[in-house]
Structure 1
Amino acid sequence: MFMTFALITLLGALGMLLQKNIIVAGLFMVATFFGVAGLFLLLANPVAAALQIIVYSGAIMVLVLFVIMMLNSHEEEKAETSRPVQRWVSVALVLALAFGAVKLVLSSAGVKALDLRGAAMPQAMTLQKVGTTLFADHLLGFEVAGLLLLAAMIGAVALTKRNL
């Protein structure tokens, strides 16, 4: 199952990056969000999976597609000259940096300290645990996020309603 959800996530992200049509790229992003939600399910966290689908696939993507359609984007003009050397140098640089990052992570003390043979299965996250943690330990952050969302909503109304 892990490979299935990881493949959905990676192919969705790759499709989003390679797509020239911005609306289809947004739909690939939704597929990526569903793959991540499946990975959350495998981690015994159905609350995060549901929030991933509801918040990201639902609300955020509707907002992104609305903004894309509202701005009426157009195709970008082709570059005047082709630069194949720059493309291959950037690919080589990305591969070198990725190799170095993987090598550093695998040689870190944190990865060496992990002993996955005796690891216990994680406990499932419930809404009660989420609510208790959110309102007991992170109440200030929750209130600040609410105020930021209120300010964003007021700004959106002010931008769309010119004659207040």
Structure 2
Amino acid sequence: MSTPGIDARLLELLQQASNLQLFQLNSVIERMLADPRRILQVRKDLHLGQTVRFMDWRDGQMRAGKVVAMKDTQLTIQEQATRSAWTVPYTAVEPSAPGAPQPAPEPAPPPAPRAGRNDFRCGEKVAFEDKHLNTVVGVIVRINQRTASIDPGDGMTWRVGFSLLRHVVDI
């Protein structure tokens, strides 16, 4: 019997052990893996979005994925190859090499500044989307406190909040 990634001599020794000895060994290993110090040792070097390697308990193969959630004793990893989510104990994750540089998570881009009253003038050409998501292009005919009155030239007048307007440049 050959298991990938496990020393053949260790497997041979385990084959010679009795069922009771294997059960005792399993019990000791489970307690050691549940030790909070071991969990913290792995967890301190992890962050959301980080790419890690983890062991698939079904076949013993190492897989790669991104950390998508972190809980007390387990973390959720989205596997890169299949895009499936795995919930694994922290001790199933291969820790980074000590002293290896950890890429910081990418900061979220700052939100675009919202357009305000001072960004628009009467007579400017602007565009916005109506409730049916149709683009309406018109000219500002009046600036109010919170809205601008827009004349698209079809006989209607629209009152639109400044944050919904965008400038139109004629070419």
TM-score above 0.5, yes or no:
no
Question: Which has the higher Rg, Structure 1 or Structure 2?
Answer: 2
Structure with greater helix share of residues: 1
Structure with greater strand share of residues: 2
What is the TM-score normalised by the length of structure 2?
A: 0.20
